[in-house]
């Protein structure tokens, strides 16, 4: 493959990360490379060293815009994220004691150690089949008791937990509408914390569509702590309990509905439609560099 053909995916990758003021190392550019074709690492390595005409370097990091600020910002956010992560792990360990929780991972900015002190903590949760509403109710109740649940109208959100997406272990493959570059990155960047019954591995295998956007996405996947499966007694919850939990929460959600999505075994809470905003900014950057 000609070097010229390899440069475009590199530029696309750096333009995407630039939306988040997040410079990348060469290794990160390779892992998050946006390409519809597989590229040999040897060819990539040659190309990225010869692409200096439009790519800037600050230390070991690469970025598209000539601004030292994002280099300094990444280092500052990294330090703040490490402290936030210590706290998040402690709380997630407690949340994972709920037997119907099959997996908990950190998503959003903290998963990339790119969080600021006043940011919240986004969680991605997988539950046992037919316990999604009961599990969500228990998770929110527990977080509320600790004073750590982020409500929709909360102004002070530092270190509060937001349950952005919850799915059950029979609905691991995300809907077609979510299969885009934004979600592909979210899955790739997900920081797994705890898993039961190899649920995290099953989730990745169920979403191999990610490789259509990020062919190197599953290279050196982060490890996850496997915890013991829960007692079968828990899963004997009467169906009526799950239905009641579902009806109560659905009513409350619909009361102030924005962009939430509710389906069988799938709950997504994105009141700000983040994916659409990010993809819009990304398209604008592609146009600027004649890559649309």
Instruction: Give yes or no: residues 269 and 174 share one domain.
Output: yes
Beta 121-127 vs 161-168: how paired, if at all? Answer: parallel
Q: Is residue 32 part of a domain?
A: yes
Instruction: Give yes or no: residues 63 and 20 share one domain.
Output: yes
Q: Is residue 261 part of a domain?
A: yes
Print the domain residue range for 44. Answer: 3-67
Q: Is residue 105 part of a domain?
A: yes
- Residue 287 backbone phi and psi in degrees, to 5: -65, -40
Instruction: Give yes or no: residues 94 and 216 share one domain.
Output: yes
Identify the CA nearest to 150 among candidates 158, 114, 194, 142: 158
Instruction: Give yes or no: residues 160 and 192 share one domain.
Output: yes
Q: Count how many residues are written for the chain.
A: 292
d(CA 136, CA 230): 17
What is this structure's pTM?
0.91
pLDDT value at residue 3 = 43
Instruction: Give yes or no: residues 18 and 141 share one domain.
Output: no
Identify the CA nearest to 10 among candidates 41, 66, 48, 39: 48
Q: Is residue 281 part of a domain?
A: no
Instruction: Give yes or no: residues 207 and 267 share one domain.
Output: yes
Instruction: Give yes or no: residues 109 and 236 share one domain.
Output: yes
Instruction: Give yes or no: residues 126 and 195 share one domain.
Output: yes
pLDDT value at residue 2 = 43
C-beta neighbour count of 126 within 10 angstroms: 26
C-beta neighbour count of 291 within 10 angstroms: 13
Judge whether 286 and 15 are in contact, CB under 8 Å: yes
pLDDT value at residue 54 = 77
Q: Is residue 74 part of a domain?
A: no
Instruction: Give yes or no: residues 49 and 138 share one domain.
Output: no
d(CA 101, CA 103): 6
d(CA 32, CA 190): 13
Q: Is residue 285 part of a domain?
A: no
pLDDT value at residue 289 = 86
pLDDT value at residue 1 = 42
Instruction: Give yes or no: residues 119 and 228 share one domain.
Output: yes
Judge whether 229 and 196 are in contact, CB under 8 Å: yes
Q: Is residue 292 part of a domain?
A: no
How many structural domains compose the chain? 2
Q: Is residue 78 part of a domain?
A: no
Residues pairing with 175 in the sheet: none
Per-residue pLDDT of the chain (292 residues; tens, 9 = 90+): 444 678 899 999 999 999 999 999 999 999 999 998 888 989 899 888 888 767 888 888 998 877 778 888 898 999 999 999 999 999 999 999 999 999 999 999 999 999 998 999 999 999 999 999 999 999 999 999 999 999 877 888 899 999 999 999 999 999 999 999 999 999 999 999 999 999 999 999 999 999 999 999 987 777 788 888 765 545 556 788 899 999 999 999 888 877 888 999 999 987 557 888 999 999 999 998 888 7
- Residue 196 backbone phi and psi in degrees, to 5: -115, 140
Judge whether 207 and 172 are in contact, CB under 8 Å: yes
Instruction: Give yes or no: residues 98 and 170 share one domain.
Output: yes
Instruction: Give yes or no: residues 118 and 257 share one domain.
Output: yes
- Residue 169, Cβ density class (10 Å: 0-12 exposed, 13-18 middle, ≥19 buried): buried
pLDDT value at residue 236 = 57
């Amino acid at each position: 493959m000609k070097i010229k053909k390899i440069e475009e995916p590199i530029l696309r990758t750096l333009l995407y990360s630039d939306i988040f003021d997040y410079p990348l190392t060469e290794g990160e550019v390779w892992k998050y490379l946006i390409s519809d074709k597989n590229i040999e690492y040897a060819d990539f390595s040659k190309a990225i060293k010869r692409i200096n005409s439009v790519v800037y370097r600050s230390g070991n990091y690469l970025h598209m815009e000539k601004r030292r600020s994002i280099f300094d910002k990444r280092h500052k956010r990294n330090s703040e994220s490490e402290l936030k992560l210590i706290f998040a792990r402690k709380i997630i360990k407690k949340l994972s004691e709920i037997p119907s929780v099959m997996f908990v991972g950190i998503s959003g900015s903290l998963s990339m150690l790119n969080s600021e002190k006043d940011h919240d903590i986004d969680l991605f949760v997988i539950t046992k089949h037919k316990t999604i509403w009961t599990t969500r109710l228990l998770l929110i109740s527990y977080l509320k008791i600790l004073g750590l649940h982020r409500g929709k109208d909360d102004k002070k959100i530092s270190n509060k937990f937001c349950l952005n997406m919850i799915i059950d272990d029979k609905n691991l493959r995300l809907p077609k509408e979510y299969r885009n570059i934004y979600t592909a990155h979210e899955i790739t960047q997900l920081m797994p914390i705890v898993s039961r019954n190899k649920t995290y591995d099953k989730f990745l295998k169920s979403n191999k569509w990610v490789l259509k956007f990020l062919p190197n996405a599953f290279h050196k996947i982060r490890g996850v702590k496997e915890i013991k499966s829960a007692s079968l007694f828990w899963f004997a919850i009467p169906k009526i309990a799950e239905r009641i939990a579902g009806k109560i929460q659905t009513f409350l959600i619909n009361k102030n509905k924005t962009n939430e999505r509710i389906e069988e075994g799938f709950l997504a809470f994105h009141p700000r439609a983040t994916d659409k905003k990010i993809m819009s900014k990304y398209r604008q950057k592609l146009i600027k560099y004649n890559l649309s």
